[in-house]
Amino acid sequence: MKSSAMRFLVCPACKSDLEVDVCSRRGQEIIEGSLTCAACSVKYPILGGVPRFVSAGSYASSFGFEWNRFRTVQLDSFNGTKESERMLEETTGWKEEDFKGRLVLDAGVGAGRFAEVVAGKGGEVVGIDLTDAIDAAYANIGDRDNVHLIQADIFAMPFRKHAFDLAYSIGVLHHTPDTRAAFDRVADTVKKDGAFAVYLYHRYGPDAHSTDIIRTLTTHLPLRIVFALSVLAVPLYYLYKIPFLGPVLEMLLPISLHPNWRWRWLDTFDWYTPKYQWKFLYPEVFRWFRENGFVDVEVFDEPIRMRGSRRFNHLADRYGERDRDVVQEDIAPEAADTGLGGWNGSPLTPARA
C-alpha cells in the first residue's frame, strides 16, 4: 500500500477517515501495518502490501483460485499481445489521453490485466477485488508507482464519495449476488463530471444459455475437479475446429476456442465455476446508467459493452453557473423518458470509439 492512497480511503462501515500504523515498509510500499477508523475504531490489516477490508472471498472464491493459478496468462506484458489493451478500449472507448493523470477505479481487478494497461497509459489506477486474486495482481503490478491494490467488497467499498474520474468493471458485476446493486455502488464512486464503463454478459439468442445446464453440475463440484476437467479444452480445441462437427459440439459442450492453450483452459474454467452468472439486455443496463445520472450513454460492439458519462458542458447555456448537483436533479426527468430503441422509443447515443 502507498501512503498516497490515504487521500481516497475511508472506513467502509462509517465513511470516516482512517489512521495508518506502519509496521514495515519496502521503498514507498507499506508492507505490513493497519488502518484504524478514527470514528468507530474498527481496525483493518495491511498484509503483503495490500489493505484488507474483507477477510475472505466468500461467493467469489473461484476467482481467487483461478487468478492465482493463471496469474500472468492475460497480461499483455507477459503474453506479448495487446489483447487486454484492445478489450479495454472496446469496452470503454477511452484512449491514452483519457487516462493520463486521471484517478481510475478498476472494480474487480482480478490479476490486473486491465489495470496494467491503464497504468501504462499514465492513469493512477485503484484496483479492488473481493478475493485473494488481489495477491496475484499485487505480484504482477503492485510495485508500480501509479497502482493501488485493495481487497474489498464491491458492496462496501472503502472510498470517499465521487472519488474517481473514471471507473470500469469488465466481466465482473454479473458474478455478484445483485448486479444492479453492485452497478449502483461503483457508479456512486464516479465524480460528477466523470465516466463509467461496463462489460456484462447478455441473454440474446440461444448461445447465451448454452452453458447454463452444465453449470448446475459444475458449480457444485470441488474447484480442483473442475480445474482438472477444464484442461480438456486444450486438446478438444482441434476437434471443435472441424467444419460442421465443431458447431454442434460447441452447442452441446461449450469450451473456449482461444488460440492460446493456457488462455483456453482459463476461460473454460471461468465459464463453469462462478456461483453467480447473471445475464442482461441492453435496455435494462441503459436504464441503470440513466438512473445513476449519466446523461451521455454509449454502446459498443459485442453485447453488453456500455459507457456512461456525466457531462455538463453541453448544458451550460441552459443552466449557466448553477451548482452541478442541481443540474443532476434537473436532468433526472429527462433520463427517465429516454431508452434504447424498442424499449421506450429513443436510441442510444452512437459510439464514438
d(CA 107, CA 167): 7
51 and 187 part of one domain = yes
Do 23 and 102 belong together in one domain? yes
- Sign, Cα dihedral of 321, 325, 330, 335: positive
Find out whether 97 and 165 touch, Cβ atoms under 8 Å.
no
Same domain, 80 and 22: yes
In the numeric block, the cell 472494480 is attached to: 107
CA distance 323 to 272: 48
Q: Quick check: is 206 in a domain?
A: no
Local confidence pLDDT in tens for the 353 residues of the chain: 999 999 999 999 999 999 999 999 999 899 999 999 999 999 999 999 999 999 876 788 999 999 999 999 999 999 999 999 999 999 999 999 999 999 999 999 999 999 999 999 999 999 999 999 999 999 999 999 999 999 999 999 999 999 999 999 999 999 999 999 999 999 999 999 999 999 999 999 888 888 999 999 999 999 999 999 999 999 999 999 999 999 999 999 999 999 999 999 999 999 999 999 999 999 999 999 999 999 999 999 888 999 999 875 444 334 444 444 443 444 343 433 333 433 332 334 334 33
Q: Which residues contact 31 (CB under 8 A, 6 or more apart)?
A: 23, 24, 25, 46, 48, 49
- Asked if residue 171 and residue 231 are part of one domain, the reply reads no
Burial call 111-143: b when 16+ CB within 10 Å, e when fewer: bbbbbbbbbbbebbbbbbbbbbbbbbbbbbbbe
Instruction: Give a yes or no: residue 173 inside a domain.
Output: yes
Instruction: Give burial (CB, 10 Å; 0-12/13-18/19+) of 36.
Output: middle
| pTM score of the predicted model | 0.87
Structural domain span for residue 257: 215-267
Domain CATH number, residue 180: 3.40.50.150
Grid cell, residue 283, equals: 435496455
Tell me the CA distances in angstroms from 122 to 95, 103, 108, 142, 145, one per residue in order: 11, 10, 20, 15, 10
Read off φ and ψ for residue 222, nearest 5 degrees: -60, 145
**Shared domain check, 223 and 100:** no
**Cα 33 off chain centre by:** 27
- Looking at the domain assignment, is residue 353 inside a domain? no
Based on the domain organization, do 26 and 83 belong to the same domain? yes
Same domain, 157 and 38: yes
Sequence-ordered list of residues with C-beta below 8 angstroms from that of 162, at least 6 positions apart, any chain: 188, 189, 190, 191, 192, 194
Residues 129, 259 within the same domain: no
Residue 342 lies in a domain: no
Last residue of a domain, one of 164, 199, 234: 199
Looking at the domain assignment, is residue 62 inside a domain? yes
Do residues 254 and 109 both lie within one domain?
A: no
The upper half-sphere exposure of residue 1, i.e. CA atoms within 13 Å in the direction of its Cβ, equals 29
Clarify whether residues 11 and 116 are in a common domain. Answer: yes
C-alpha distance from residue 292 to each of 168, 169, 348 (Å): 15, 16, 16
Say how far residue 211 (Cα) sits from the centre of its chain.
22
Q: Do 18 and 42 sit in the same domain of this protein?
A: yes
Residue count (the chain): 353
| Same-domain check for residues 231 and 332 | no
What's the pLDDT at 320? 42
Q: Identify the DSSP state of 347.
A: P
Per-residue pLDDT, 207: 81
CB distance 188 to 161 below 8 Å: yes
Whether residue 276 contacts residue 176, with contact meaning beta carbons closer than 8 Å, is answered with yes
Half-sphere exposure at residue 11, Cβ-oriented, CA atoms within 13 angstroms: 17
Of 278, 228, 290, 237, nearest to 259 by C-alpha is 237
Residue 274 belongs to a domain: no
Q: How far apart are CA 146 and CA 115, in angstroms?
A: 10
Does 71 map to a domain? yes
Number of domains in the chain: 3
Closest-CA residue to 291 (of 339, 253, 249, 251): 339
Task: Say if 343 falls within a structural domain.
Answer: no
Q: List all residues 6 or more positions away from 61 whose beta carbon is below 8 Å from its beta carbon.
A: 131, 223
Whether residue 10 contacts residue 44, with contact meaning beta carbons closer than 8 Å, is answered with: no
Distance of alpha carbon 227 from the chain centroid:
23
